[in-house]
Chains A and B, each alone.
Chain A
Amino acid sequence: MTDLKERILKQKKQSMERYREERDAFEKVMGTPKINVSVELPKGYEAQREEFLDLEKEESFLKDADKALGRIVKKHLKKAKKQAEKEKSSDSEKEDKP
């Protein structure tokens, strides 16, 4: 029976992709939102194509990428916040002027 279950599950691969899409949609509303960033193989490293593709599954790489991207995201969000505050204050200054 376990074999049968496994075989059926394999055939339902497409449905599982739809499940992941649905889950991401719910996660965006209820949980921590996520964005996807794609990384290309850097120039000069063409010979290491396979190793590059394997990085996607390597835990230490994912940890480092998460840390580095976390710093970059924070930097950009701070910048966006400052920009928004600046625009807000310049708008209110314009409104104050007769």
Chain B
Amino acid sequence: MLNSIGIIYIGIYLLTLLLASAELTSLSVAALIGALLSTLFGLTCGIFTPDEVIGFIDFRVILLLVGVMITFEVVERSGLFRVLALYAIKYSRGDPRILFFSICFVSAAVSLFLSDVTAILLIAAAAGTIARIMNYDPVPYFVSAAIMINLGGTSTLIGSTSNMIIGMASGLNFIDFLNFLALCEIALWILTSLTLYLLYKPKLGEKKTPPTYDPWGEIKDKKTVYKAGFIIVLFLLLFLLYEKWNVGPEIIAFLCAILALLVVDVDAGTVFWQIDWETIFFIGGFFIIIGGLEKTGILRFLSKAVLNMAHGNQFIAALLTLWSSALLSVFVSNIAVALTYTPIIGIMKDLNLNMNYLWSALVLGTNLGGAATPVSGAVCVLAIGALKEENVNLSFMEFSKAGALTTIVQLLFASFYLILRFGM
């Protein structure tokens, strides 16, 4: 089935993953090297034309991602999420159990909008400060925040980059995501925070007198925060309604980005500087690698292999998708996993299968595998880095104990949910 060109393309794909996951070079450079090799081989061997190479890149995904990044970078700069985190800490009234659950739920809620990297830096800073003031062990709060941030946004189109990729490839809109996965995400928030609570209960510390402060204390311009709140509400409303206007989510995201820059008083140049170009270039490069793989027929071969393993049963195919994509996401970027799996799943659409079942399984798998070990995702790496700033060295095993346990609990529940939601 595999010819020499196919083997070369698998080699390019694996080389890119190796470079990226072993951090031998940055994610974007790894993907660009892979894209360059893929293009050179494709063009010289006549597998595709230069025009087709450009066509491999789904610019709707890039536009959606940039639009969402700009909008929420502006919102974050207003201080809105900082105020939210300060309120959550204030209302825990010095009770470490309430503080723990507050941090868990605020982490997940904030990551509905912010990128995982921005969210963990914000929440870890809040948790680190209160832990120092109250003399608590910061480990339970930092690790739980990382795991909850990875989980937050699983059920929304804009909740994670992998969701945007899957959403654009599958045609699932914002409402479809909520319809298929919102209940599962809510249940997973509760289940995961309870698991983490049971794990860290003895380390949370005792009830103490909390510091008294005004959460709005450092906000110089309250109007900017209100405007940022208005942008979020507008963003959500437009995302709920865009299907009716026959426009794509990328147009809405860009519209919101422009509105945010116009309404909220921030420097546009600084906002553009903060955009995660690393991820954007990584996606662009990886699209070309996957396009090459698709052209060689390898993905069709893999798709058939999955169906053969599942004996044509959609329930088994969905479970295979869920667990294999989650397992892969533990070791490589979940963006790469989403980009690889979307064409494999997409090929199955001609068969008599419930595609929503398979897409939902893929969304859950790519999201849930991202916090099993300290190197599963940027959010875990940064949580450990932030702990180091607080003079705490967390070992690989210590993080993995919480990460792997919650990932297994989440995947078991997700399997159960998929059966309940879509049947056997």
* B223 on the A face (CB < 8 A): no
Instruction: Give the CA-CA distance A18 to B217 in the complex, in Å.
Output: 20
Please determine whether B386 and A5 come into contact, CB atoms closer than 8 angstroms.
no
The residue from A4, A23, A25, A30 contacting B23, defined by CB atoms under 8 A apart: A4
Given known A-B contacts A8-B381, A12-B385, A26-B82, A19 and B125 have beta carbons under 8 A apart: yes
Please determine whether B217 and A8 come into contact, CB atoms closer than 8 angstroms.
no
Instruction: Give the CA-CA distance A31 to B130 in the complex, in Å.
Output: 8
Residues of B212-263 contacting chain A, CB below 8 A: 213-215, 217-218
**Whole-angstrom distance between the Cβ of B163 and the nearest chain A Cβ:** 22
Q: Which residue of A lies closest to B217 (CB)?
A: A29
- Interface 1/0 per residue, A5-36 and B, CB below 8 Å: 10111011001101110110111111100000
Give the residues in chain B near A30, CB-CB below 8 Å: 86, 89, 129-130, 133, 211, 213
Number of interface residues of B (CB under 8 A): 36
Q: Which residue of A lies closest to B23 (CB)?
A: A8
Give the residues in chain B near A15, CB-CB below 8 Å: 117, 121, 382, 385
Give the residues in chain A near B214, CB-CB below 8 Å: 29
Q: Which residue of B lies closest to A28 (CB)?
A: B218
Instruction: Give the CA-CA distance A9 to B394 in the complex, in Å.
Output: 13
Give the residues in chain B near A2, CB-CB below 8 Å: 395-396
How many interface residues does chain A have, given as a range?
20 to 34
Q: Which residue of A lies closest to B390 (CB)?
A: A23
Give the residues in chain A near B389, CB-CB below 8 Å: 16, 19-20, 23
Q: Which residue of B lies closest to A32 (CB)?
A: B133
Instruction: Give the CA-CA distance A9 to B380 in the complex, in Å.
Output: 10
Instruction: Give the CA-CA distance A16 to B396 in the complex, in Å.
Output: 19
Among B117, B211, B382, B396, the one with the most A-chain Cβ atoms within 10 Å of its Cβ is B382
* A1 on the B face (CB < 8 A): yes
Give the residues in chain B near A27, CB-CB below 8 Å: 129
Please determine whether B375 and A1 come into contact, CB atoms closer than 8 angstroms.
yes
Instruction: Give the CA-CA distance A37 to B126 in the complex, in Å.
Output: 25
Please determine whether A16 and B23 come into contact, CB atoms closer than 8 angstroms.
no
**Whole-angstrom distance between the Cβ of B355 and the nearest chain A Cβ:** 36
Please determine whether A5 and B121 come into contact, CB atoms closer than 8 angstroms.
no
Residues of B11-45 contacting chain A, CB below 8 A: 22-23, 26
Please determine whether B125 and A22 come into contact, CB atoms closer than 8 angstroms.
yes
Instruction: Give the CA-CA distance A31 to B117 in the complex, in Å.
Output: 24
Please determine whether A5 and B125 come into contact, CB atoms closer than 8 angstroms.
no
**Whole-angstrom distance between the Cβ of B108 and the nearest chain A Cβ:** 18
Among A4, A7, A22, the one with the most B-chain Cβ atoms within 10 Å of its Cβ is A22
Please determine whether B126 and A26 come into contact, CB atoms closer than 8 angstroms.
yes
Residues of B112-126 contacting chain A, CB below 8 A: 117, 121-122, 124-126
Given known A-B contacts A12-B382, A16-B389, A29-B214, A23 and B125 have beta carbons under 8 A apart: yes
Among B82, B386, B396, the one with the most A-chain Cβ atoms within 10 Å of its Cβ is B386
Give the residues in chain A near B126, CB-CB below 8 Å: 22, 26
- Contacts A5-B396, A31-B129 aside, 11 further interface pairs with beta carbons under 8 A come to A4-B23, A5-B384, A11-B23, A11-B26, A19-B124, A19-B389, A22-B125, A23-B389, A26-B82, A27-B129, A29-B213
B interface list, Cβ under 8 A from A: 22-23, 26, 82, 85-86, 89, 117, 121-122, 124-126, 128-130, 132-133, 211, 213-215, 217-218, 374-375, 378, 381-382, 384-386, 388-389, 395-396
Please list 8 pairs of residues, one from A and one from B, whose beta carbons are closer than 8 Å in the complex, sorted by A's number. A8-B23, A23-B389, A26-B125, A29-B213, A30-B129, A30-B130, A30-B211, A30-B213
Q: 9 shortest A-B CB distances, which residue pairs?
A: A22-B125, A26-B129, A23-B125, A29-B217, A19-B121, A1-B396, A9-B385, A8-B381, A8-B23
